[in-house]
Structure 1
């Protein structure tokens, strides 16, 4: 299918690349279909709405920047996403890129959980006071992140 995107222009994607968010994502409840696209030559991705070309979120693998990041999914989320095996799960966090890259932040309080097998996703707000919506990404040196 043809897709108009915010960062990639017009592209072609396969229907099996579309991830369904049955309840949308917080603040965008009507947006229920997204694709994950690489973001140029960066370690980031773009979570692009299928229906709204101007709606896209920069995302990242949180474990790359925060190796100690750890949480437990509520059983209701595991069931809702039909997760059977841990390796079926793909985790992303929404990133706010700043002009000064070192000031960019990641939302560790609300990770995006994707069941790769079922192409189902949900942004989960964690009830954990350890994580906030604005963790500085570049607090560790590359060698400390294993890069």
Structure 2
């Protein structure tokens, strides 16, 4: 873990208020990352680039949140992925993205209000069946 991977989350993450430092670790050649707690090796989150799965994903960052994160131009958006035993049930949380300022290395998970998103969007596009029955 190098210093340029460490992001401060001044308010922690929801449910993990005490955890304020995480390393953002990229997976090579994939739109995935790990957000690994610096102080608790057992705490990490699997993240994805929401735009890789939902190209039309959009929301407006409030002025207060932009100020809090000291965002002027560069911003990274990542969303938590919940991996299920059956890969087709894996989901991405588009309702509560993690907003990162790579210039200042600070971040925050925000909950979008009045947005058409929810916490469990399918990560895999739905496949049409050819014979009219579920599961092909």
TM-score bin (small chain): 0.7 to 0.9
Report the TM-score when normalising by structure 2. Answer: 0.88
1:22 aligns with 2:10: yes
**CA positional deviation for 1:42:** 4.8
Q: Which structure 1 segments of 5+ residues have no match?
A: 1-12, 142-147
Q: Which structure 2 segments of 5+ residues have no match?
A: 128-136
Cα contact 1:89–1:116 (8 A) shared by 2: yes
CA offset digits 1:95-127 (Å, max 9, x no partner): 001111111001000000000000010000000
1:33 aligns with 2:28: no
CA distance 1:139–1:18, change in 2 (3 Å): same
Cα contact 1:109–1:128 (8 A) shared by 2: no
Report the TM-score when normalising by structure 1. Answer: 0.81
> How many pairs are equivalent?
127
Counterpart of 2:88? 102
Cα contact 1:24–1:32 (8 A) shared by 2: yes
Please give the alpha-carbon distance, in whole angstroms, between the structure 2 residues aligned to 1:121 and 1:41: 23
1:71 to 17, 38, 59: 59
Please give the alpha-carbon distance, in whole angstroms, between the structure 1 residues aligned to 2:54 and 2:32: 14
What SS does the aligned partner of 2:124 have?
helix
**CA positional deviation for 1:38:** 2.7
CA distance 1:69–1:118, change in 2 (3 Å): same
